[in-house]
Structures are given as structure tokens and as C-alpha cells.
A and B are shown apart, each in its own frame.
Chain A
């Protein structure tokens, strides 16, 4: 193995090159990225980056780190346009870059609403450039913000817009938001967080047409004919894996590049991150096929696995994981581990009626397969371990009972301390 090429210079691509260099791989490493920017962190783009007074720098590393510490050739600003798996080359501009091992980490790109291309006031949030544009627009004296899609990114943008005191409406086509990600009951519970903060959520509504004036968005027309005036339209209707450049490569593409348990898509070709679809053995009993995640943690991990497997295919390791993602809405932190499958969801701490704090567990085949927590940061990772060990439902409920006892003991202790303080104050008075 002498030449590792990584296509996609974001989280998965960065972790790929860092992993093999960290292991002492001394071949040539090339990192190809379509964007001009150095690899940067996306989660802040719909959170702090929009909300903070002072814009944080989302780049992971400096230029010098790639050149000096990692000895990685960066090829930025031009997308790879073709892959030839028999000649083992990647085409970038007019250059054919040869590889011995390849990591595909081209991620995903935001879905857009047809007919809104080039329209001022219409935003998606996927890239740093998108976030720069939206950050400005949220501060440009616009008053009314309409978010299409009540998914995680749309919800985060809505929360930021509310914190800037703008009028926010979320339009969601499904009857309950986030059904596929976290199930129906929990989708309703999270919707309450919006309502609690004065964000209007309209479900079961279709956007028929985006109305414009002078090259800028003016209103949206809904399925029932109503027109909703708006200054800004934020489109959060999901992302699509970036696989167009692989046409004709012979790789299997089916909503992502399909790979095996070791993330291999073809001899010498491995996949990582949002673009990857692979069988996650930990959930082979609950999922009906390979899965694709759009989560920070799995993208980082797969980047490392894919690159290590690519430079040492004989010892390629299987990747399995308990998926994890987080999301920040208003001042609340939402955390999810596992998969939202199964036949039962049980709230084991707090109350979901008002949007939390609470913790809920997901059951399938009598084992725990998922956990969702809102503002209960101490909880969800404890369940992540149980899920990873394929523990039974009883074990999960036992842990939940133990946690409740601990919480009650802590609360009693705090109450006693307060009472003692009050008594002391009284005695002093």
C-alpha cells in the first residue's frame, strides 16, 4: 500500500487521514474536497454559528497541520468527477489521481425545494457558505421566518430565530414531526418544546408554491390554498447522499454507497460517513437491511475504520455501532442513542407531556434498542452501554429504577440541606 486517496474533505475524510497517519502509515495521502474551505465542523452551523454574537471558527485544523504534521496533500475546490475501479483512479478536474486504497466520504447535500433556485431569502443549511448567508439574513431586519420541515436542522434554526426574537412558523408535511427518527410519541413530545417557546408548528401541510417578488421570496402557498407571508424561507427537508460522481463506477448506489460490514464497497474501496450504507450487525434483528446514518459520531468513527481497512485490507475490521446524535433546541439538549425501532416506548424518568426533561427507552424483541433524553444529560449514555451489550428490557428497566432512586436520594439530600440552611437563617435572624 503506497497511496491512500480520500474523497470528501469533511469530518469523515479528516478522521480518515488522521487515523492512518496516527498509526504510522508512511505512504502518500491525498485528501480531495469539493469546497474551498479546510475541513470544518457542521453541527455548530445550525446552532452557535447562527446564534452567537461573535462567529466561532468552525474549522477543525489549520493549513499547516495538513502540510507539516499530517503530510497530507490537500486538493481543495474541485469535486472528484469520476471513479475507475479497474484502473484505480479518481478524476479531479483534468487530473487522474491513482490510488491503492480509496475512502469515499462525500457525505450528503441538502435537498432543495424545486423552483426556488437563486431566489433571495431562501436558505438551506449544510455548508459553511450556507450558514454565513443565513446568519446574515437572520440579522438583516427580516421579521418573519418560515421553516419548511420539522426535522432536527429545521428545528434548530427555528430555535435560533426565536432566540433572536423573530416570528417563526414551522411547516411539516407529516402529521407528526420526526416520526422516522424517533417515533410518533416522541415526535409529539419534542414538538412541545417549540410550542413552549412560541414557535408555531403546523403539521400535515404541503407547500404547493413559493411566491416571489423582485427575485426574493414573498410568501408560500399551502396545499389548502392559504398564503403565508414570509421574509425568509429556511428549507430543512433533509439531505441526499452525494453519489452523482460515482455514476458508471460500478459501485452499488442505493440511497448511499452500499458496502459490507467492513465498509468495503469494492476491492480497495471503502466508504465512511453520511454517504455510507452498511449492515450494522448490532441491530441485525431489528433492521431490515443496511443502514445509513447522518450523525457526527458515526461519520468520525467510520472515517477511521474505512481508512485503516483501506491501507490494511487483510486485517479489515467490522464496524458496528450504537448510533448517537444530539440536537440543541432553545436551551434544551436532545440526545438519542440506538435505533427508534420496536414495539414500545416507555418514559422512565421525567414527563414527556410538556416536552421534558424526560428519558424514554425503546424496546424491540424484548431488548432495549434505543433511548431518548431531553435535558437529562446524565442518562442516555448509561443506556448506550446496555444497548451495545444487547441487554434485555428487564436490565434496562432495572437501571431506570436504580437511576430514579439515586435521583430521589439526591433530591432529598438537597431539600434537607436547604431546610437546614433556612433553619440556620431563622436562628441567626
Chain B
């Protein structure tokens, strides 16, 4: 599964990071760093939670 970010929507809330820190990290200036393009094995649930938790609906998954 691939992680897609709508960069226009992301406002650097960091909810995604708090749920799946291996994949998402917010920088000091509020920009999102994507540590993995593909959902790492065994982290499907965490990443799904992160996608659902984003307040701006900036994240989605593509199979």
C-alpha cells in the first residue's frame, strides 16, 4: 500500500506522527516529512489510524 499526501491540505497537525512515527514526522516549521512511501510491513493498522486521524483529510492510501 502506498501513502498519498495532499500537500495543499496538510497543515502540519502531526496527528499522523503521534500514531505512526516511523512513517510520519512533522518538522519545526510544520512541514510533514514522509519517512516511507510504502506502508511498512506490520504497521498497516497504525498507518490506517493515522490516515483516519488527520484533521484536514490530507492522507489517503492507495493499494
Contacts and interface: CB of A to CB of B under 8 A. Distances in A.
B41 to A, nearest CB: 21
A196 interface: no
Interface residues of B, number: 17
A376 B55 contact: no
A2 B30 CA distance: 44
Interface in B17-63: 17-18, 21, 25-30, 52-53, 55, 57
Contact of A384 (B12, B18, B30): B18
A333 B18 contact: no
A113 interface: no
Interface in A299-338: 300-301, 304, 322, 324, 326, 333, 335, 337
A326 B57 CA distance: 16
A407 B12 CA distance: 18
Contacts of A344: none
A66 interface: no
Contacts of A112: none
B3 interface: no
A381 B18 contact: yes
Contact of B28 (A296, A297, A337, A378): A378
Given A301-B53, A377-B30, A378-B27, A385 B13 contact: no
Nearest to A406: B28
A326 B17 CA distance: 15
A390 B53 CA distance: 21
B30 to A, nearest CB: 4
Contact of A381 (B26, B28, B55): B26
A381 B25 CA distance: 9
B30 A385 contact: no
A43 B28 CA distance: 23
A407 B27 CA distance: 11
A29 interface: no
Given A377-B14, A381-B14, A381-B17, A297 B55 contact: yes
A272 interface: no
Given A326-B13, A381-B17, A385-B21, A296 B55 contact: yes
B15 interface: yes
B55 A377 contact: no
A380 B52 contact: no
**A43, A304, A378, A384: most-surrounded residue (chain B CB, <10 A):** A378
Nearest to A22: B52
Interface of A: 43, 60, 296-297, 300-301, 304, 322, 324, 326, 333, 335, 337, 376-378, 380-382, 384-385, 388, 407
Interchain residue pairs A-B with the least CB separation, the first 4: A381-B14, A381-B18, A377-B30, A384-B18
24 contacts: A296-B55, A297-B15, A297-B55, A300-B52, A301-B53, A322-B18, A324-B15, A324-B18, A326-B13, A326-B55, A335-B13, A337-B18, A377-B14, A377-B26, A377-B27, A377-B29, A381-B18, A381-B26, A382-B17, A382-B21, A384-B18, A385-B18, A385-B21, A407-B28
Given A296-B55, A333-B12, A407-B28, 13 more contacts: A297-B15, A297-B55, A300-B55, A304-B52, A337-B18, A376-B28, A377-B12, A377-B14, A378-B25, A378-B28, A381-B21, A382-B18, A385-B18
